[in-house]
Amino acid sequence: MYVGLGARPGVSADEVVSLVRQCVPAGCRAVVLATLAARAAEPGVAGAAARLGVPVRSYEAAELAGVAVPHPSAVAGAAVGTPSVAEAAALLAAGAGTVLLVPKVVSGRVTCAVAG
């Protein structure tokens, strides 16, 4: 499963891992955590990827903004320059012909979506 993450600065690896485990369907596993380039080096994101044993893939805001998603956010658009991070990153990471399997779920300082 291709996991897209939106993360606020200071998010913990525990919070990220907890939400990823909640969102990835039973019997499946994450193969990548995808996020906004500006958040890829966040200790919580990098730490979660290390704990899950997956790489982090990052995208610039302009790339993410070009992806049509079911739940765009004006708040995200104003804050980071794209109306979607989690859903758009999951879809970009999964590649052409894939679909959003789990729409964005928000928990505290992290948002998660899953594509495959």
Question: What pLDDT is attached to residue 68?
Answer: 96
Domains in the chain, please, with CATH?
2-115 (3.30.420.180)
Residue range 90-116: mean pLDDT, rounded: 97
Average pLDDT over residues 53-80: 97
| pLDDT at residue number 91 | 98
The model's pTM: 0.96
In contact, 30 and 20? CB cutoff 8 Å: yes
- Percent helix, strand and coil across the chain, each to the nearest 5: 40, 25, 35
Task: Provide the pLDDT for residue 36.
Answer: 98
As a whole number, mean pLDDT of residues 71-96 equals: 96
Antiparallel, parallel or unpaired: β 100-107 and 32-36: unpaired
